[in-house]
Amino acid sequence: METSIFQYDFIIKGLLGAIFASITAGLAGTYVVSRRMVFLSGGITHSSFGGIGIGYFLGINPIVGAAVFGIMSALGVEYLSVKQKIREDSAIGILWAFGMAIGIIFIYLTPGYSPNLMSYLFGSILTVSNADIIALGIMSAVLILYFVIFYRTILYISFDEVFARTYSSYVDVFKYITTSLIALTIVLNIRMAGVVLVISLLTIPPNIAMLFTRVYFRIVIWSIIAGFIGTATGYAISYYAGIPVGATIIFTLVIIWVLVKTTTFLIMKLSKKKL
């Protein structure tokens, strides 16, 4: 069959994409959910759309533009919240809409038709390039190394920043580095899930894991497993049904959450009856 090589390539790409997306989203997502940074992450995602627009306009890789925007807005919000001169949620709300506005303006100003705009908003398998997969793979390695090497430091700073400051002068450095890595993770996953939906790729898997474990590193492991099942299944369904991949992945993840929630609820009910 002529299509078999194409299909094979497609499956490998999908599988690798699912593995790397779930590793990066699981590590970053557990941090985001534990530190209650979900709204900040949403702001980072949407402001990075400004970078995508400028990337288009200048004719450079939109993901590079998105990365610059994402990291800058992440650091900006962390900086503002440290200085406490502006309400953090207001700052995020402004960045959120400002990024989207810049993105739309520059895409509009770009001569010619922008066929990939929808793929950035909602994710698309067709636009996930080999370079995107490699970038996600490198990001997975960096995040694993970062979290393994600095596990205790990261855990304790995000649990109790005030106390961490009594023994460490690196609290702000680690906050900035971790937030930047999360911004990068979000941007690299935009190809898979799209600007609108990528935040759920980070937040749903840890919430599935937290239904049955409360230990940080176990939440990371189970997030990655849940994320992989959701992403791979969503990818496959999207391929065969011809529907957008981001939406399919999120839909699958929510179904998994409902199933696990129901199961843990039933187990709790049954074990209480026995007692």
Residue ranges in contact with another protein by CB under 8 A: 34, 36, 149-153, 155-156, 158-168, 170, 174, 210, 213-216, 219
- Measured in residues, the chain has a length of 275
Nearer to another protein, 214 or 274 (CB): 214
Termini Cα distance of the chain: 60
105 or 210: CB nearest another protein: 210
Rg (CA), the chain: 19
Least separation in angstroms between residue 179's CB and another protein is: 17
CA distance 73 to 71: 6
Closest approach, Cβ 152 to another protein, in A, equals: 6
Between residues 108 and 159, which has the closer beta carbon with respect to another protein? 159
- Minimum CB distance to another protein, residue 33 (Å): 9
Nearer to another protein, 4 or 166 (CB): 166
Nearest distance from residue 31's CB to another protein, in Å?
A: 11
246 close to 197: Cβ distance less than 8 angstroms: yes
How far, in Å, are 2, 36, 195, 196 from residue 6 at the CA level? Answer: 8, 42, 27, 29
Q: How far is the CB of 37 from another protein (least distance, A)?
A: 12
| C-alpha distance from residue 103 to each of 30, 114, 188 (Å) | 29, 12, 17
Supply the minimum distance, in Å, between the C-beta of residue 163 and another protein.
Answer: 6
Q: What share of the chain is helix, strand, coil (3-state, %, to 5)?
A: 85, 0, 15
Nearer to another protein, 39 or 150 (CB): 150
CB of 214 to another protein, least distance (A): 5
Closest distance between another protein and the C-beta of residue 169, in Å? 9
Calpha distance 102→184 (Å, rounded): 19
> Contact, 208 vs 253, CB < 8 A?
yes
**CA–CA distance, 126 with 190 (Å, rounded to integer):** 13
Residues 185-196: b if buried by 16+ CB within 10 A, e if exposed: bbbbbbbbbbbb
Which of 152/273 has CB closer to another protein? 152
Instruction: Pick the closer one to another protein by CB: 51 or 206.
Output: 206
125 vs 164 by CB, closer to another protein:
164
Query: Which runs of E-coded beta strand occur in the chain?
Result: none
Give the residue carrying structure tokens 């100003």. Answer: 109
Q: Locate tokens 């460490």: which residue?
A: 168
